[in-house]
Amino acid sequence: MVDTEQNIDETEIDDTGELFEHYKFRVDKGQSLLRIDKFVTSKIENMSRNRVQAAADANCILVNSKPVKSSYKVKPLDDISIVMPYEKRELELIPENIPINIVYEDKDVIVIDKEAGMVVHPGHGNYSGTLVNALLYHLEQQGTSALSEDERGGFLVHRIDKDTSGLLVVAKNIFAHTKLAKQFFDHTVKRKYIALVWGAFDEKEGTVSGYIGRCQQDRMKMRVFDEEENGKHAVTHYKVMEELGYVTLIECVLETGRTHQIRAHMEHIKHPLFNDNRYGGDKIIKGTTFSKYKQFVDNCFSLLPRQALHAGLLGFIHPNTGKEMIFESELPSDMTTVIERWRHYIKYRTEI
């Protein structure tokens, strides 16, 4: 038996969305000794024993805060905590020959530098042309026909938004998937983003925290709340990299990974991302009223038709070798072009 409380972390499909499920159980006093893999599969609907065993092998099943193997016998009043990657698949996945920038690959993981404009996973309104469609083709070209249906397209551990560029890691097998999901759950993955935001900062570095939840007035948008019951705890550390007049180039380090975390946090402190149309950055927030200045900003918007956000660094412990892997990605040309325009503007702004 289990307590009625069963916590499952929601999965999200946007910036810094992490894809894992978290289950918590308190074993009933009358429970007889039973292998934990059998116990868990009997308590979670549609849970395969293979998934539970993979989670145990990856030290992702904790009993009374200590990792156990799948042969562990549950005992009365045991507190069980399980982290495993999200596995839900609702759409038929079709391989598509779409070029993707693979910066690293071995038998366990693939690290990809995603271009802005590419959706990570098929969903409503985006049934093809996604990163997963491209990965499915890539893996099948390697001869993965022996893999199960669920393994054919690799395993997503996290996602970044369609209009955010940069690095993400994909697992190639269920063991790697589970080990990486645990690292994301434990917040041990290193992630650093570069953003161009509106306004100048009084302090050169700082931290934004709060509870991020769905905005009631606009369900496509997230907002920061003071109360825990309204969202999930989120922490972003930022540092000023370069002051560019009415905009600032900053570095953001994520302590947590929530949907639209950086975008919502920057809006919350009145520094929305440049040209972020969901969070108000697609308007002139700072600057003059001169028509030439407006023309200059509109031109920058045209050159960078998305929020100015790039996942520039990704670090994790390799699920098989145990070695730390660090990857860095240069800013894409649309961001560098606009940054150069702002540099030129602040140097000669008396002429505009």
Domain spans, the chain? 20-83, 101-184, 191-351
Among 100, 87, 206, which residue's Cα sits nearest to residue 151? 87
What is residue 126's predicted lDDT score, i.e. its pLDDT? 66
**What is d(CA 189, CA 116) in angstroms, rounded to the nearest whole number?**
22
CATH architecture of structural domain 101-184: 2-Layer Sandwich (3.30)
pTM of the predicted structure, to 2 decimals: 0.77
* Residue 88 or 60, more confident: 60
Q: For 164-185, what is each residue's pLDDT tens digit?
A: 999 999 998 888 888 998 898 8
Q: Which residues contact 248 (CB under 8 A, 6 or more apart)?
A: 196, 197, 198, 199, 200, 201, 240, 241, 242, 271
Lowest mean pLDDT among 117-131, 288-302, 334-348: 117-131
DSSP symbols for 237-278: EEEEEEEETTEEEEEEEESS--TTHHHHHHHHTT-PBTT-TT
Residues 1, 35: contact at Cβ < 8 Å?
no
Arithmetic mean of pLDDT over the chain: 85
| The pair of three-digit structure tokens given for residue 104, joined into one six-digit string | 């690293």
Told to judge if 161 belongs to the known catalytic residues of this protein, a careful annotator would answer: yes
Q: State the pLDDT at residue 192.
A: 96
Cβ atoms < 10 Å from Cβ of 283: 12
Which CATH homologous superfamily contains domain 20-83? Answer: RNA-binding S4 domain (3.10.290.10)
Enter the tokens of residue 317: 């412990």
Nearest to 202 by CA among 169, 155, 238, 226: 238
Q: Hey, do 101-184 and 191-351 end up sharing a CATH topology, with the first three levels equal?
A: yes
Cα-flanking dihedrals φ and ψ of residue 221, to 5°? -125, 150
Helices (H), 281-327: 291-303
List the one residue out of 54, 140, 64 whose CA is nearest residue 319: 54
Q: Which fold has domain 191-351?
A: Pseudouridine synthase (3.30.2350)
pLDDT at 219: 67
Question: What pLDDT, on the 0 to 100 scale, is given for residue 87?
Answer: 59
Given 15, 113, 161, 334, the catalytic residue:
161
CB 173 within 8 A of CB 188: no
For 267-294, the pLDDT digits (tens) are 999 999 999 999 999 999 999 888 999 9
Q: Is residue 197 pLDDT above 90, yes or no?
A: yes
Structure tokens of 342? 């702002």
Can you tell me the mean pLDDT for 227-252?
Answer: 94
Buried residues in 174-186 as b, exposed as e (16+ CB within 10 A): bbbbbbbbbbbbe
Residue 122 in this model has a pLDDT that exceeds 80? no
